[in-house]
Chains A and B, each alone.
Chain A
C-alpha cells in the first residue's frame, strides 16, 4: 500500500481546495445542493437535477491543511431555499462557476459526505452547514 508523507498530504489537500478560490466572476466559490442522481464526476453537467440551495464560501474557502486536515472558513447560510425536494448530492464550484468537487448528501447516520438532520428541503426554508472538513488521507 502506498503511503504519503504529512507534507505531501498537506500540499495535495491545499492544491485541491485552493482551486475553489480561483476565478474572478464571483466574490467566492460556492456549493450547490441538488436533488436527483449525482453525475459521474464534476466534468459532467448537472442534467435534470434540481437546485435546492446555494451555500457561499469565504475567500479563501478553506484554511491551510495541517496533518492532512483542513476546516472550511465561515460558510454562509442559504436563508431562502429555491425549491422543494430531497437533497441527495452537492457540487462545489470555483469563482468562475467551474465544478471542482461532487459529493453525496444523506440524512445523519446515512454515510453521506455531508449529512443533514433533514434532507427533505422545502421552498423558503433555511440551510445551514454546521461543519465542513477537507481530509487528505495517508
Chain B
C-alpha cells in the first residue's frame, strides 16, 4: 500500500530543541495538565542531586500512568480485545492489568504515539527495567548515567507529557465510531483503503469489530455485524492464524455468554468464510492463554528476571499438548523468556522455557514459522536487537529450524531462518526483519 493510505496517524512529537540537555531545558515543554509545576520541581531536584534513576522512574511513572489513563477511556473490553487478552475481565482496572509494554504497543497501534516515539519510549522502558532489577551488590558498579536519565526524560516529555491529552487517538476513535454508526458499502473509499492497507491496520480493524460485537446491542450491534460481514470476508485470506483464532474464540465466548444476536451474526460470517476450523472445541485454550499472558506480563514488567520463573514454570507444567488456539501466544511467551532482552535473560526460567519448546513438534514449529511468527511483532522486534538475536541463533540451531523452514511457504520467513542459522550475517537477517515489520506496517528505528 502506498504511504498515503493511513486510517489514523500517531501524534507528532513535542518540539524540544536538539540542544536541550538538562531537565530545566526539557521540562518546560511538558503540558502543565500532564506534569504539574510541583512534579517538575521534584524531578529537577532529584536530578541535580545526582539521583538520576529516581528522577527517571518518577517521570516514567507519570508518563505511563497518563498513557494508561487515556487508553482506559476506550473501555476495558475494548482494550482486552485490541491486545487479544481474554484474561482481562470487564471490570478489571486498566492501570493494574495493562503492562507498560502493552500500553506502549497499544498506543502505537491506536495512533496515540508515533513509531519514532514508540521506539524511544521502548528504549526508556528497557533502561528503567534494567536498572530497576539490579541488586544492591550490582548498583555500585552500574548506575544510571546522566545521559541515560536525560534520554528517559526527553522521550517521556516529547511523546506523552508534552502532548495534549484530548488529541490522542481522535482519528482512531472516528474510525471506530463509523464502524458502529453505519454500515459501509464495498465501494466506499474506507473499505478500498483498508483492503490495501498494511497488516496491522487490518488486524486493528478486526479487533475493533470484535470488541464492538461483544459489547454493543441493538442498532450499533447490527451495524458492527454488517461491517464485519463486509470486512472479515474481504481480508480473511490475508489474516494470520492468531487473528483467525481470535475471531473463532470470540464466537465461542459470545455463544457461551448467551448473546443471541451477536452469535447469529458471527456464525453467518464464519459460515461464509468457512472459518469454523478456528473455533476452539472447548475453552481449555483460555487457561493456556491466561498462563502465557502471565509469563509475558512478568517478562515485560519491572524486575522481570525475578518474576519470570514462577509463571513460566506454571505454563510448562500445564500439559504436554498446547491447544491450537493458544499455541501462538504460548510460543510468544516461551520465546520471550528464551530470548530475553538487551540486558540479558532470566537464568532460572530458562529450563522451563526449554521444556515448553522441547515439546513442540517439527510440524508445529513449521506452523509457527509460517503462520504466527511473521505477525508476532513482539518476537520480531526482539530479533532486531543484537543480544536476543544471538540467542535466537541458538534456538534455530538447538531445534534444527533450518530443516523445518525448508517447507515454509513464506519466503521472508524462510530467509529469516536461513540467515539465523549461524548468526554470521546479522545485517542480512536485519534486512529480512525490516521487511517483515514493514509488511505489518511498522518500521525499525535505526
Partners in one complex: no
Interface residues of B (CB under 8 A from A): none
